[in-house]
Structure 1
Amino acid sequence: MRYALDCKDDFASNLLFWIERFIYGKINSLSNHQVKNKDEILKVLSRFRNGFDSMESLQCACKECRNIGLIGINTYILPLSKLYEYLIQIGLESLKDIDEELLKEFLTIHTSALSDATKKNYRMALINFFSFVDKQNEDMLGTSYNFRIELKNWGGLRGKSGQKLPSFMNEEEVHRFLNGIESYPFKHQELGARNRLILKIIIYTGIRVGEALNLKLKDIMQDGEFFMIQVRGKGNKPRVVMVKAKNIAQDLALWRNVRENMVVNDDMLFCNHKGTKLTQAYISRIVEQVLIANGIRKEKNGAHMLRHSFATLLYQKSQDLVLVQEALGHASLDTSRIYMHFDKQKLKDTTEIMES
């Protein structure tokens, strides 16, 4: 069904309407292989069909989608919610007042401190959104208003030379972090084993936070002195990682004992006290708390930093880029090359070239 461009009474309501229509369409196109509870997704989709009275309620619905398992929704809702706030402040009267120069201004102001990858996500979210509106709006005469947003000449991207290197811990900091996990006073002591187990699995194997949270009970199996962990990566591609049993066996046994006395909705390895899936934001908060408690300061304190730390140490000790690619589940070797920048020995070798 098509709608008039300015089908509501005011600019804010019109913009919110089109954003919710766009997000609703994106939700139905996202991969659903991680969705386990169809009743939950039906409830959220029903809310989208009924519409929202504020951007805050739309954002909450998108958060629910992510928690249910529709990963990728933040790529669209974060840029568009920022755009909504920006355009409301300007005080436009009609969606027709939006043009490419105004969107470039928005990108310049709101993405200045972001990485190139995030800037590209913002740009593509805007292009996709306005392309959607182009195709879906129609007035009483059957004609459509076309924004034709391309943003081809926006100069906000720095290019490869300006990309930031990821934050990571050096070997001494990693050991300090691991010791800190053991002594950290988690709020709910009965869940402390779970929290320690999650953080250890991530930092000892380098798997993504989402991959850790999607592990099933059957995915972790002991093989002598090691645990083998079956991981489902991006695109649902399987791979196997290993961790020494001595590093996680105690916490795994303690957590399994706690979990047996809980009502869990699925066979997921990790869950909250209600028996439902944990969020990546929760894991990142734990990581940040442990880092601060142990005097470790990084530009980015999220859980993904643990993966970077593992990969950096793996390359430094192995000098094997293919091993890094396989361990991290990178589709391309080029993605793994970033960790070559942390090879101190090779950097030290460059200081010798002028020596006689």
Structure 2
Amino acid sequence: MGELSSFFAVAGCCTKQIPLRKNMIMIIIMWKAGNPTYQPRKIAMNEPQTPTETRFADLLDPYESWLRWGNPSKPYSEHTIRLYLREVGAFIAFLDKNMIEDVEEVTNAVFRQYFAQIAQNGAKATTVRAKLSALDNFFEWGYLEDIFPLNPAERYKRLVSRRGRGGRVESRLPEVLSESQIDELIYSISSENRKETPRNLAIVGILLDTGIRVSELLGMSVQDGINMIEGQKLRVFGKGRKERSILPLGQFSDLYRGYIRNKTGIDPAMRQQPLFTTKTGRPLTQDAVYRIISRHLGKIGLNVHQKGAHLLRHTAATLMLRQGVDIAEVQYRLGHSNVATTGKYLHVTEG
């Protein structure tokens, strides 16, 4: 303490013209810098850390992207987007608190417990319905995106509407493009005289020929593309970094062969760079792919519930089944962990 007092006396002579608050701050900083016994606090490695989020929480960003870009003909308002994200986030926090990490564990009993807590806080019936509507939107998006094998919120909504009589509800079938709609989409993109038109056509062609996810598409390197047009299987890494090898159907190869051939002149040492990039050479993002395809779907006047690049994945699965590809092979190509998820496309082909 004596050292600090003497330091104040010395420092005071050079800080008389500085306001008191700044004066004290400067003195303390100078003392810390000149005192060899001062040690800054070190954070212990065993201090509490932020808990790891559940897999539901990891879906909030792609869900928000879909809300913003997935339905250009009937866009959600900013108010609705904020409402849905808030309500879904609150429900995910509830699931996390109760250690529920799988959609099949989200039973009617879970919904009853959740909404009972909300009712105890004085929520009106209209508020509860709005919250349930937001959850139904989230789970239906996940179902149509092949993330969930079912929509548990829709099942609970039917249970509530029947006042407890229950009954299993089948979720909406995935929407797919007809052959004429595919042609219209391709024409819409090709009619644009833009530098990125060949890239956009290649994106559509690969998605339709393989059924891979957008994240898997954007994980392709230039070398992956070259290998594919040379007849080799395409190696992709899906959820959980699970690897699978896919041989494209080839029905839409004319949409991407030219784009990839133009990449063959790249130095072999640089062929591990992304196949799909922006005009400035940066890797293309999932949001950008959704915007590109959603914009063209809107231009050709498609009034379908599910928009965006994932609609092409649904279409690819249906095309495979219609061409006689075995359902187990389709399951493998799409990277589904459960064949029941793939089975919903059989109903589309039968319709």
With normalisation by structure 2, the TM-score equals 0.54
Q: What is residue 108 of structure 1 aligned with on the other side?
A: 129
Corresponding residue SS for 1:161 = coil
1:49-88 per-position Cα deviation (integer Å, ceiling 9, x unaligned): xxxxxxxxxx9xx99xxxxxxxxxxxxx986634789xxx
Aligned ranges 1:103-182 → 2 under 5 Å: 108-112=129-133, 115=136, 118=139, 155-156=156-157, 161-182=169-190
Aligned to 2:349: 343
For the 8 Å contact 2:226–2:264, the answer to whether it is kept is no
Q: Which runs of 4+ in 1 moved over 6 A?
A: none
Counterpart Cα distance in 2 of 1:108 and 1:120: 18
- Alpha carbons of structure 1 residues 279 and 285: separation in structure 2 relative to 1, 3 Å: same
Residues 278-289 of structure 1: pairs in structure 2 closer than 5 A: 278-289=284-295
Residues 89-113 of structure 1: CA distance to partner in whole angstroms, max 9, x if unpaired? xxxxxxxxx9432589655313426
| Cα distance in structure 2, aligned partners of 1:227 and 1:191 | 26
CA distance in 2, matches of 1:107, 1:267: 49
CA 99–165 in structure 1, closer or farther in 2 if over 3 Å, else same:
same
Decide whether the 8 Å contact of 2:84 with 2:135 is kept in 1: no
Aligned length: 232
Instruction: Compare relative contact order (CA 8 Å, sep 6+) and give the higher one, 1 or 2.
Output: 2
Distance 1:178 1:333 in 2: 31
2:260 to 247, 252, 255: 252
Distance 2:85 2:228 in 1: 48
Report if aligned partners of 1:116, 1:157 keep a CA contact under 8 Å in 2: no
Match among 225, 242, 245 for residue 237 of structure 1: 242
Q: Which amino acid aligns with 2:209?
A: Y
**1:221–1:229 Cα contact (<8 Å) kept:** no
Unaligned 5+ segments in structure 1 are: 1-22, 31-58, 64-76, 86-97, 122-151, 348-356
Distance 2:277 2:348 in 1: 35
Contact residue 226 and residue 260 of structure 2 kept, 8 A: no
Structure 2 residue ranges without an equivalent (≥5): 1-48, 56-60, 66-81, 91-115, 143-152, 160-166
Counterpart in 2 of 1:146? Answer: none
Paired with 1:170 and 1:200, the residues of 2 have a C-alpha distance of 15
Q: What is residue 111 of structure 2 aligned with on the other side?
A: none
Whether the 8 Å contact between 2:201 and 2:255 is mirrored in structure 1 is no
CA–CA distance in structure 1, aligned partners of residues 340 and 156 of structure 2: 25
Q: Which amino acid is 1:171 matched to?
A: E
1:293 to 294, 299, 307: 299
Mapping of 1:159-238 within 5 angstroms? 161-185=169-193, 189-222=194-227, 226=231, 228-238=233-243
State the structure with more CA Rg.
Answer: 2
Are the counterparts in 2 of residues 184 and 290 from structure 1 also a CA contact under 8 Å?
A: no
CA-based RMSD: 4.3
Matching residue's letter, 1:213: L
Q: CA deviation at 1:223?
A: 6.3
Q: Give distance in 2, aligned partners of 1:120 and 1:317.
A: 27
Partner of 1:304: 310
CA separation in 2, counterparts of 1:270 and 1:311? 23
Letter in 2 for 1:196: L
CA contact (8 A) 1:315 1:340 kept: yes
Identical residues among aligned pairs (%): 26
Aligned partners of 1:197, 1:107: CA distance in 2, in Å?
Answer: 45
Contact 1:241 1:327 in 2 (8 A): yes
Give, in whole Å, the separation in 2 of the partners of 1:322 and 1:255. 34
**Partners of 1:292 and 1:104 in 2: CA distance:** 37
Cα displacement (A) at 1:324? 1.5
Q: How far does residue 339 in structure 1 lie from its aligned partner after superposition? A: 0.6
C-alpha deviation, 1:273, in angstroms: 3.5
Structure 2: how far apart are the matches of 1:173 and 1:246? Answer: 18
Partner of 2:335: 329
